[in-house]
């Protein structure tokens, strides 16, 4: 029986034991509805507020600026549709919004939807190494620009975007404007490794997810700076300051709180993960006709993304899976829509190179032994598939 | 790998993917069928050598494939070569995708087109052999050939931008 090696931490992370432990009471005896007045409800209300405190401390904001959602996708939708809706009511004139070509679909598709609805949208292209440069954002800004969303770190190629720099630029521009520009960042992939101090980043909205930081699935959170115009996109009982109705996922939210706490505790692990990443990059590039996608330096410490010519990504993923290794690809075959990765196309890869792309993402539980095993197996699998391939 | 956890592909598909039959390039083939498009992510080359049986009927004496694509494409090509090897041309062109899918123990719906690609590669290889040798081509093969050509053009039209990009970029890569 081969080993089981998980190298797909950007897709999701396993729940940390401590997180699960923290959640358990709220799946069992402490089941009360946080909106109930009796002590069952009080217990869960307090639990939610404790997570809110932890999130606020982590992001360096106030507790009333945190809204819990059912996922990071939902948090992104709330940020984008919610702010645009509020601004439409306020401004009454056509306005312009900006995002990038390498966003996660949870940001890209809401912007495309708004474009369909008649809002003017600019999709800013990254450079060849997958960085959206601040000067490109600056160029895209118009007199009537009111909202900008740029992801903190890319989920496919791991490139880190200059959020602090863009934040500074926008706050500079805002000084001379009557109608300010609101700035959102999807920080889902960044939380484990990068500074998420919203004061430093100068963002008005920031999205995070629990299941990318060793917490449970089904919980996201949105930081909304006080004073940001925003309308709910879900209506009901008025939970979460009226911005996200629906009885709170108490256990999930508690799990998120614990997960955030653990991120701080594990900050020291980053160097170890980075060294493993560098080892992979060095070794994988020894395979003939293998290329690194995205910046070599400016990338998350846990992300490797390579294109290997002559092999198709899904075949590669399944062949590695048969050897007990779990990784991911941007190949068309692997997607629901049979479309190759928009991120890889945006950084100038040919469709052929996108089909042969492989994403390896490391995490808290990755060991050097696992990486050595992966590096032993990969060249063999590539060789086998190349033997079958016509080119 | 825990076998129980893996249910998307049948055992047979995984087995053919792991140990494909009759793969590689053939020297001096009598017919070649090339289908698929790199832009879409699936390309299949099928080579045949034709022999004559004692009763005078022509048959597939040898067959080989080369496939770039997902595991469903590789498994479909592999099993196809197994199914038609030693078969007469007459018998071989009766093969259809549902036979392939059945022999593979099923394919996920999104992967059904991979089995069509395999049969098309075979039809094209036999068409190539017959037309090169000025032999009569069965009506079915002629029609299928026309259809495949038409689909190729449609794909090229649909993915025109990408194909242009592909050509441009691979030219750049070569120049480097």
In sign, the C-alpha dihedral spanning B37, A294, A190, A4 is: positive
Stretch A47-56: mean pLDDT: 98
Q: Compute the mean pLDDT over every residue in chain A, rounded to the nearest whole number.
A: 96
Give catalytic residue positions of A: 333
Chain A to chain B, count of Cβ pairs less than 8 Å apart?
A: 90
Distance (Å, whole) CA A75 – CA A208: 8
| Residue A144 to residue A127: CA distance in whole angstroms | 25
What is the C-alpha separation between A364 and A302, in angstroms, rounded? 10
Write down which residue in A222, A240, A265 finishes a domain.
A265
In whole angstroms, how far apart are CA A328 and each of A7, A312, A361?
8, 12, 9
Mean pLDDT of A235-243: 97
> How near does any CA of chain B get to the CA of A4, in Å?
7
Same structural domain, A107 and A248? yes
CA dihedral A373, A263, A79, A147 (to 10 degrees): -90
User: Could you tell me if residue B2 is inside a domain?
Assistant: no
Burial of A237 (0-12, 13-18, 19+ CB in 10 A): exposed
Q: A326 and A362: one domain?
A: yes
- The helix/strand/coil state of A361 is strand
How close, in Å, is residue B94 to chain A by CA atoms?
26
In sign, the C-alpha dihedral spanning A108, A113, A116, A117 is negative
Closest chain B CA to residue A330: B41
CB contact under 8 A, B25 and A319: no
- Kindly state whether residues A214 and A337 are assigned to the same domain: no
Nearest to A315 among B2, B69, B165 (CB): B69
- Give the per-residue pLDDT at A1: 45
Q: Do A100 and A117 belong to one domain?
A: yes
- The residues, any chain, with a CB within 8 Å of residue A94's CB and separated by 6 or more, are A118, A119, A120, A144
pLDDT at A2: 58
Q: Once rounded to an integer, what is the mean pLDDT over residues A92-101?
A: 97
Number of residues in chain A: 391
Query: Token pair for residue A163?
Result: 């959020």
Q: Is the pLDDT of residue A254 over 60?
A: yes
* A258 and A273 fall within a common domain: no
Here the CATH number for the domain that contains residue B149 is: 3.90.1010.10
Q: Which domain-ending residue is among A245, A265, A285?
A: A265
Q: Write out chain B residues lying below 8 Å of A389, CB-based.
A: 66-68
Residue at A166 is within a domain: yes
Q: Say what the pLDDT of residue A80 is.
A: 98
Angle at A353 between CA A351 and CA A354, to 5 degrees: 65
CA A292 to chain centre: 21
- Of residues B155 and A285, more confidence is placed in A285
Same domain? A121 vs A184: yes
pLDDT class for A183, splitting at 50, 70, 90? very high
Plot region of B56 (φ>0 → left; ψ -120 to 50 → alpha; else → beta): left
Q: Is residue A296 part of a domain?
A: yes
Specify whether the CB–CB gap between A148 and A137 falls below 8 A. yes
Instruction: Give Cα A138 to chain centroid, integer Å.
Output: 23
Same domain? For A316 and A380 the reply is: yes
- Out of A194-203, A271-280, B35-44, least confident range: B35-44
Residues in contact with A37: Cβ distance below 8 Å, sequence separation at least 6, in sequence order? none
Nearest by Cα to A354 from A340, A368, A366: A340
Measured CA to CA, the distance from residue A76 to residue A106 in angstroms comes to 6
Confidence of residue A354 (pLDDT cuts 50, 70, 90): confident
Examine residue B137 and state whether it is found in any structural domain, yes or no. yes
Q: Does residue A40 lie in a domain region? A: yes
What's the rounded mean pLDDT across residues A340-357? 89
> Which pLDDT score is estimated for B157?
80
Distance, CA of A371 to CA of A377 (rounded, Å): 10
Q: Of A234, A265, A296, which marks where a domain is finished?
A: A265
Answer yes or no: do A312 and B70 touch at CB < 8 A: yes
Residues A187, A98, single domain; the answer is yes
The series of mean pLDDT values per 10 residues for chain B, 176 residues long, is: 61 94 96 88 94 94 95 95 96 94 90 89 96 94 94 81 72 60
Residue B3: the pLDDT is 47
A387 touches chain B (CB under 8 A): yes
A125: DSSP letter = P
Strand, helix or coil for residue A14: coil
| pLDDT over threshold 50, residue A365 | yes
Q: How many residues does chain B have?
A: 176
Phi, psi of A236 (to 5 degrees): 170, -130
Tally of domains within chain B: 1
How many Cβ atoms sit within 10 Å of the Cβ of residue A388? 23
Residue A227 burial by Cβ neighbours in a 10 Å radius (0-12, 13-18, 19+): exposed
A345: containing domain: 267-388
A51 to chain B, any CB pair closer than 8 A? The answer is no
My answer on whether A157 and A305 are in the same domain is no
Q: What is the pLDDT of residue B174?
A: 57
User: Cβ contacts (< 8 Å) between A319 and chain B: which residues?
Assistant: 17-18, 71
Residue A126: helix, strand or coil by DSSP?
coil
Cβ-Cβ contacts under 8 Å for A168 (sequence gap 6 or more): A202
- What value does the mean pLDDT take over residues A163-175? 98
Range of the structural domain that residue B84 is part of: 10-175
- A242 falls within a domain: yes
CA angle (A294 as vertex; B155, A171 as ends), nearest 5: 110
Measured between beta carbons, the chain B residues lying within 8 angstroms of A318 are: 9, 14, 17, 70-71
Contacts of A386 in chain B (CB under 8 A): none
DSSP string, A280-339: HHHHHTTSTTEEE-S-SSSB-TTEEEEEETTS-HHHHHHHHHHTTEE-B---GGGSTT--
Query: Is the model's pLDDT at A267 over the cut of 70?
Result: yes
CATH number, position A364: 3.90.1150.10
Q: How many domains is chain A built from?
A: 2
Distance from CA of B151 to the nearest CA of A (A): 17
Are residues A256 and A289 located together in one domain of the fold? Answer: no
Determine the 3-state secondary structure of B43 from DSSP: strand
Query: Is residue B1 a part of any domain in this protein?
Result: no
Task: State whether B70 and A331 contact (CB < 8 Å).
Answer: yes
Residue A254 lies in a domain: yes
Query: What's the pLDDT score for residue B109?
Result: 84
């Amino acid at each position: 029986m081969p080993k089981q090696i998980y190298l797909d931490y950007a897709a999701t992370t396993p729940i940390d034991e401590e997180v699960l432990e923290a959640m358990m009471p709220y799946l069992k005896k402490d089941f009360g509805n946080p909106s109930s007045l009796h002590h069952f409800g009080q217990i869960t209300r307090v639990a939610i507020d404790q997570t809110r405190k932890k999130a606020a401390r982590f992001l360096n904001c106030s507790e009333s600026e945190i809204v819990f959602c059912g996922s990071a996708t939902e948090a992104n939708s709330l940020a984008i549709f919610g702010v645009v809706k509020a601004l439409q009511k306020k401004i009454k004139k056509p306005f312009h919004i900006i995002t990038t070509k390498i966003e996660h679909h949870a940001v890209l598709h809401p912007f495309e939807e708004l474009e369909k609805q008649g809002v003017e949208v600019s999709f800013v292209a990254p450079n060849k190494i997958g960085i959206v440069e601040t000067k490109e954002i600056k160029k895209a800004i118009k007199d009537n620009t009111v909202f900008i969303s740029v992801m903190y770190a890319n989920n496919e190629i791991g490139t880190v975007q200059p959020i602090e720099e863009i934040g500074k630029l926008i706050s500079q521009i805002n000084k001379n404007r009557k109608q300010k520009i609101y700035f959102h960042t999807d920080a889902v992939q960044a939380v484990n490794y990068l500074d998420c101090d919203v004061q430093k980043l100068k963002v008005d909205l920031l999205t995070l997810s629990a299941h990318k930081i060793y917490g449970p699935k089904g919980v996201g959170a949105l930081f909304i700076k006080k004073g940001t115009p925003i309308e709910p996109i879900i209506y009901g009982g008025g939970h979460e300051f009226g911005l996200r109705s629906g009885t709170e996922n108490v256990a999930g939210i508690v799990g998120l709180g614990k997960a955030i706490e653990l991120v701080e505790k594990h900050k020291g692990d980053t160097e170890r993960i980075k060294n493993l990443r560098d080892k992979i990059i060095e070794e994988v590039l020894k395979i003939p006709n293998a290329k690194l996608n995205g910046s070599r330096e400016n990338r998350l410490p846990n992300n490797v993304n390579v294109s290997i010519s002559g092999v198709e990504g899904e075949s590669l993923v399944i062949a590695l899976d048969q050897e007990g290794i779990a990784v991911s690809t941007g190949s068309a075959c692997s997607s629901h829509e049979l479309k190759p990765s928009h991120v890889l196309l945006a950084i100038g890869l040919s469709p052929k190179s996108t089909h042969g792309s492989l994403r390896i993402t490391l995490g808290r539980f990755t060991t050097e032994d696992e990486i050595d095993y992966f590096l032993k197996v990969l060249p063999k699998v590539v060789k086998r598939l190349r033997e079958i391939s016509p080119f | 790998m825990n076998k129980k956890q893996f249910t998307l592909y049948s055992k047979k598909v995984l087995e053919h993917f792991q140990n494909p039959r009759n793969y590689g390039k053939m020297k001096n083939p009598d017919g070649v069928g090339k289908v698929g498009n790199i832009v879409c992510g699936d390309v299949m080359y099928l080579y045949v050598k034709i022999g004559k049986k004692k009763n005078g009927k022509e048959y597939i004496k040898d067959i080989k494939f080369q496939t770039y694509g997902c595991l469903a494409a590789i498994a479909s090509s592999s099993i196809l070569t197994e199914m038609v090897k030693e078969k007469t041309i007459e018998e071989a062109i009766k093969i259809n995708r549902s036979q392939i899918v059945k022999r593979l123990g099923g394919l996920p719906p999104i992967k059904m087109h991979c089995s069509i690609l395999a049969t098309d590669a075979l039809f094209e290889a036999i068409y190539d052999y017959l037309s090169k040798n000025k032999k009569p081509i069965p009506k079915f093969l002629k029609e299928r050939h026309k259809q495949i050509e038409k689909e190729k053009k449609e794909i090229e039209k649909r993915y025109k931008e990408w194909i242009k990009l592909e050509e441009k970029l691979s030219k750049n890569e070569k120049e480097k």
